[in-house]
Amino acid sequence: MNPPPFSPSPALLERAVALAGTPVYLYDEATIIDRCRRVRAMPNAFGLRVAYAMKANSNRAILQLVTGQGLGIDASSLNEVRRARLAGVADQRIMLTTQEVPEGDDREELEQLMAAGLEYNVCSLRQLELLARSATTEQCAISIRVNPGVGTGESRTRNTGDKYSSFGIHLDALPEVVRRARAHRMPIVEVHTHIGSGGAPELWQSNIDRVLTIVEQFFPEATTVNLGGGFRVARMPDESSADITALGRYAERRFSEFSARTGRKLKMAVEPGTYLVANAGVIVSRVLDKKSSGPDGFDFLILDAGMETNTRPLLYGSRHPFSVVARDGRVLSDEFALPSQALLPQVVVGRCCETGDCQTLDEQHTVIPRRMAEPEIGDYVVIGGAGAYCSSMSLTGYNSHRQAPELLVRPDGSLVTIRERQSLAQLVMNERSLPEPA
């Protein structure tokens, strides 16, 4: 039931490499549009608002693409808001959910943006107090991010809904928040939770009940319940994606029951990042070298795309599927499409001076070889499931590797550059030499 991931044909691969070299991020517009439509079609009781969590992939063209599909933008920082605006996104379609507490000029800018329609999701008591003090946002309607105390993530570090996580306003503080918002005459019209990324769909579902209980208990003026993002996406063939239609059906039922009980018709909002772009992108890399660490060791493939291009294996132990494509276009192995039993277990590493620069690690940083065809030096390794949190989370500057370019395949098959490869001059642009001795 997992919707098919984008996988470039050998001909497309050849065109992409001819245009931009390797390593390169390659995204598929049709897949992104398909995922936008799937989320917008989620069942719901009284209306659905969908925003794209832009930290998943903040390229301007991607923002234009998803907002063109009717989605809003979920921004995680003031700079993300600025980037969305540079992409042409209207202020009224942006919601800011941030750990930042903007001061000074940033504060003024934020207040102007709010006056122009930006929705601010209050994530702490301090944020609420600063908001209450400003003249332009006086008595404005607000959203509150609640930490419901139970979260779920694909790894421990991606659970954002329990006591180990600093996100949102924890349950203990809710009575105080409600009291202060009332004192400042700021109606809380939206209640927001985002309990983690890629966690168990059952917990995403039970969070709906938790939030509705919280809304009933604390937020009589709320008209929208924002359930955040975090839909699990299968990148590997043995993983499974969240069934967002089933989640929507469950929400529809619960929101309807809530309405029957309270007379309140709550609108639902979701803000996925991963779901919309993860399987719409790949990294095309080239095999630079091959080595072995002996009969008791491993066979290594050294690629020109490593931890600086895709940090997720090192950070989370995430697995991405590999396909091996010969220079002449023959697909030698494809972890997604073909069984790989007979193939050689290999360890895929990058070119950084760092043992952790390895694409085949588990969450404990243990090296786990993967079965794939043995390529020749110069052949391609395509890293799948790389549309979310790869480019946007890349390590810029380490070992002075330049940021890889990004290409987009349009629905008509044409290929456009949506980011050029960083130049060496850009890499050192902001550095200054020591002053001349006096």
Asked if 53 interacts with ligand PLP (CB under 6 A), we say yes
> At closest approach, how far in Å is the CB of 241 from ligand PLP?
12
Name 406's bridge partners.
Answer: 25, 419
Please say which residue, 32 or 347, places its beta carbon nearer to ligand PLP: 32
User: How many whole angstroms separate alpha carbon 178 and alpha carbon 176?
Assistant: 5
Q: Which stretch binds ligand PLP (CB under 6 A): 52-60, 292-300, 370-378, 425-433?
A: 52-60
Q: Is 58 in the site for ligand PLP (CB under 6 A)?
A: no
**Considering only CA atoms, which of 242, 243, 246, 264 is closest in space to residue 255?**
264
The residue (of 167 and 300) whose beta carbon lies closer to ligand PLP is: 167
Peptide bond into 23 cis (omega under 30): yes
Least distance in angstroms from the C-beta of 105 to ligand PLP: 25
Q: How many residues does the chain have?
A: 438
The residue among 51 and 373 lying less far from ligand PLP, judged by its C-beta, is: 51
> What residues between 187 and 206 interact with ligand PLP by CB under 6 A?
194, 197-198
- Residues 270-289 binding ligand PLP (CB under 6 A) are 271-275
Q: How far is the CB of 193 from ligand PLP (least distance, A)?
A: 9
Stretch that binds ligand PLP, among 225-233, 244-252, 316-324, 353-361 (CB under 6 A): 225-233
**Stretch binding ligand PLP (CB under 6 A), from 23-31, 104-112, 265-273, 334-342:** 265-273
Restricted to residues 385-414, the positions that interact with ligand PLP (CB under 6 A) are none
Query: What residue type is 64 in one-letter code?
Result: Q
At residue 34's C-alpha, the angle toward residues 30 and 37, to 5°, is 140
**Hey, what are 165's tokens?**
């996580």
Check if the beta carbon of residue 372 is closer than 8 Å to that of residue 344.
yes
* Residues facing 74 on adjacent strands: 53, 95
The answer to the question of residue 143 lying near ligand PLP (CB under 6 A) is no
Q: Which residues contact 297 (CB under 8 A, 6 or more apart)?
A: none
Count the Cβ atoms, other than its own, within 10 Å of residue 188.
Answer: 22
97 binds ligand PLP (CB under 6 A): yes
Beta-bridged to residue 75, according to DSSP, are: 96
Q: Whole-angstrom Cα distance, residue 8 to residue 329?
A: 11
Q: Residue 74 or residue 357: which is nearer to ligand PLP going by CB?
A: 74
Of the pair 214, 325, the CB lying nearest ligand PLP is at 214
Q: How far is the CB of 97 from ligand PLP (least distance, A)?
A: 4
- Residues touching ligand PLP: how many (CB under 6 A)? 18
* Cβ neighbourhood burial of 177 (10 Å; 0-12, 13-18, 19+): buried
Q: Does 224 bind ligand PLP (CB under 6 A)?
A: no
Does position 76 interact with ligand PLP (CB under 6 A)? The reply is yes
Q: Which is nearer to ligand PLP, 79 or 262 (CB)?
A: 79
- Given a contact cutoff of 8 angstroms between Cβ atoms, the answer to whether 204 and 231 are in contact is yes
Q: At closest approach, how far in Å is the CB of 155 from ligand PLP?
A: 12
Contacting ligand PLP within 228-257 (CB under 6 A): 228-231
Least distance from ligand PLP to the Cβ atom of residue 84, Å: 14
- The verdict on whether omega for the bond into residue 237 sits within 30 degrees of 0, i.e. cis, is no
Spatial distance between the Cα atoms of 56 and 342, rounded to a whole number of angstroms: 35
- Interaxial angle between packed helices 125-133 and 174-183, expressed in degrees from 0 to 180 and rounded to the nearest 10: 0
- Binding site residues, ligand PLP, CB under 6 A: 53, 55-56, 74, 76, 97, 194, 197-198, 228-231, 271-275
